[in-house]
Amino acid sequence: MHLYGYYRSSAAYRVRIALNLKGLDYDMTSVHLRDGNQFDPDYVKLNPQAQVPTLVLDDGTPLVQSPAILEYLEEVHPEPALLPADTMGRYRVRALAAVPGCDIHPIGNLRVLKHIQQTYGQDMAAAGQWAKHWIELGYTGLERMLADSSETGRFCHGDTPTLADIFLMPQMYNAIRFGVDMGQFPNIQRINDANMELDAVQKAYPDNQPDFEPA
């Protein structure tokens, strides 16, 4: 398989973690989002939304949209499982994953921060405050969901990583970047620390990617 991504893209980072956890081999091509390389017409043929990631299967089929890619990988490569065996567990993992996936990351990603700066005459610091606001709001709910359930374990759900952790970790990278005080969110912090011990996460971590650029 071949993954088109970008070191700092949350959605690409999710797919890297999943591929690593499942022990699947893949090559990578970096699509430089800040330089606008996602708009290259050849790339748009692979990814009609001009976004990353795109996971190209060995038969050449390009897959887009990280939530759909992750469910696909889980169906085709079920071991190790990233969704629980029981229906209520699968519901809970998908609900936890949707907090960063739908309620935090989309509102604070690069294209949105750029649009705020251009449209409302804000600087990057103000755009960072915008991102921080949505992370803290989403984490407030997520922390409650984790604190209130006996199914929360060493990871978001039980003692092995699931899709919920895969969505959380890229959000954590941004939470740190935008200065979120994690003292407010002890369960999220604890689960982040457990995930950071995994080789699959370390190998997927933005700063460890070949296209990483120091700030």
How many residues in the shown chain lie near a copy of itself by CB under 8 A?
48
Is residue 193 a contact point for a copy of itself (CB under 8 A)? no
* Segment holding 186, helix H or strand E: helix 186-196
Find the binder of a copy of itself among 130, 155, 185, 205 (CB under 8 A): 130
Is residue 51 a contact point for a copy of itself (CB under 8 A)? yes
Query: Whole-angstrom Cα distance, residue 124 to residue 16?
Result: 28
Query: Whole-angstrom Cα distance, residue 87 to residue 99?
Result: 19
User: Mapping DSSP to helix (H, G, I), strand (E, B) and coil, where does residue 187 land?
Assistant: helix
Is residue 1 a contact point for a copy of itself (CB under 8 A)? no
* Segment holding 204, helix H or strand E: helix 199-204
Nearer to a copy of itself by C-beta: 48 or 208?
48
In the 8-state DSSP scheme, what is residue 158? B
Give φ, ψ of 203 to 5 degrees: -65, -25
Contact present, 110 and 116 (Cβ < 8 Å)? no
Counts of helices then strands in the chain (DSSP H, E)? 10, 4
Nearest in space to 177 (alpha carbons), one of 142, 125, 115: 125
Is residue 176 a contact point for a copy of itself (CB under 8 A)? no
- Within 87-106, the residues that bind a copy of itself by CB under 8 A are 87-88, 90-92, 94-95, 97-99, 101-103, 105-106
Is residue 112 a contact point for a copy of itself (CB under 8 A)? yes
Is the bond leading into 53 cis (omega within 30 degrees of zero)? yes
Find the binder of a copy of itself among 1, 107, 110, 182 (CB under 8 A): 107
* Segment holding 56, helix H or strand E: strand 54-56
Query: Whole-angstrom Cα distance, residue 30 to residue 45?
Result: 16
Q: Which stretch binds a copy of itself (CB under 8 A): 25-33, 139-147, 174-182, 190-198?
A: 139-147
Is residue 150 a contact point for a copy of itself (CB under 8 A)? no
Is residue 158 a contact point for a copy of itself (CB under 8 A)? no
Find the binder of a copy of itself among 34, 36, 39, 49 (CB under 8 A): 49
Q: Which stretch binds a copy of itself (CB under 8 A): 23-31, 115-123, 168-176, 203-211?
A: 115-123
Is residue 118 a contact point for a copy of itself (CB under 8 A)? no
Question: Which positions touch a copy of itself (CB under 8 A)?
Answer: 44, 48-51, 61, 63-69, 71-72, 75-76, 87-88, 90-92, 94-95, 97-99, 101-103, 105-107, 112, 115-116, 119-120, 122, 130, 133, 138, 140-142, 144-145, 148
